[in-house]
Amino acid sequence: MEDMTRKELKQKAIEMRMRQMSYAEIKEALGVSKSTLRDWLRNLPLGERNIELIEKRKHRQIERYRNSMKAKAQKKLDIAYASVSERIGSLSEREIMIAGLFLYWGEGGKATNSDVCLSNTNPHMMSFFVHWLRVLGVGKDMVKVAVILYSDMDIEKEMLFWSSTLGLPLSQFYKPRIKKSKISSITYKNGFGHGTCLIRYGNKQLWDFILMGIRRLEDMQIEAAFQMVYPKNVRVLGLEPRTKTV
């Protein structure tokens, strides 16, 4: 019985080889070791043309596998997106203001005590920043925009891109700064490729408001931490939250 099974396997292996299948494909289909296949099929070598066909078929299989894995990964992301979207819901102006304060806390310009500004390559982040300023009472016509681009970019096209993305006319843009280096020579890829955008609005009163808003967030974090450690008395000697006065 074993001899008959082995003969059947050998015959199937020969038939599959005659259909120009590779050792790997036959091994996967029949569960036979490559050393056994080499013994059975030593008189059935593949020609160059057939080897090329097998390589092309292998590449197609790899591509199908990659696409399949990519689709599975995207499905997981879609599920996560739906879940987080349901939890977030819509944002109130208060929530937008707080989100903007956290953004400014991490990314906003702090070199002066009057220039409210943000610089980034992410168009969505910069669009949100414009909206956040509007929530804080800053009209869109009151901000200025500077863009840093690369020498191999279509400068006019990129300026129009930022104008459209931010919803601001080109009259509110400074003359773009053009780097001599090329974007094509950048080794890292951030997924945006439209240069760097900087939005600024000079106003000492708003700067103070944002600074104190960030300080309030810091105090809230301190209060929350103390509440966890000292639930009955948040105010611990020498570690009280800062006062709101400057």
| Cα separation, 133 vs 117, whole angstroms | 10
pTM over 0.75: no
Q: Which of 21-25, 118-122, 229-233 shows the lowest mean pLDDT across its residues? A: 229-233
What percent of the chain is predicted at pLDDT more than 70?
Answer: 80
Looking at residue 8, its pLDDT comes to: 83
Nearest to 159 by CA among 186, 197, 208, 125: 197
- In the chain, domain spans: 2-77, 93-210
Is residue 122 classed exposed, middle or buried when 0-12, 13-18 and 19+ CB atoms within 10 A define those classes? middle
At residue 12 the predicted structure's pLDDT band, cuts being 50, 70 and 90, is confident
At the topology level, CATH places domain 93-210 in: Endonuclease I-creI (3.10.28)
Q: Tell me what the mean pLDDT of segment 170-191 comes to.
A: 81
Q: Which of 1-15, 18-32, 89-103 shows the lowest mean pLDDT across its residues? A: 1-15
At residue 41 the predicted structure's pLDDT band, cuts being 50, 70 and 90, is confident
User: Rounded mean pLDDT of the chain?
Assistant: 83
At residue 246 the predicted structure's pLDDT band, cuts being 50, 70 and 90, is very low
Q: Tell me what the mean pLDDT of segment 203-227 comes to.
A: 89
Neighbours of 110 (CB within 10 A): 14
CA dihedral 131, 137, 138, 139 (to 10 degrees): 80
Residues in contact with 174: Cβ distance below 8 Å, sequence separation at least 6, in sequence order: 144, 145, 146, 147
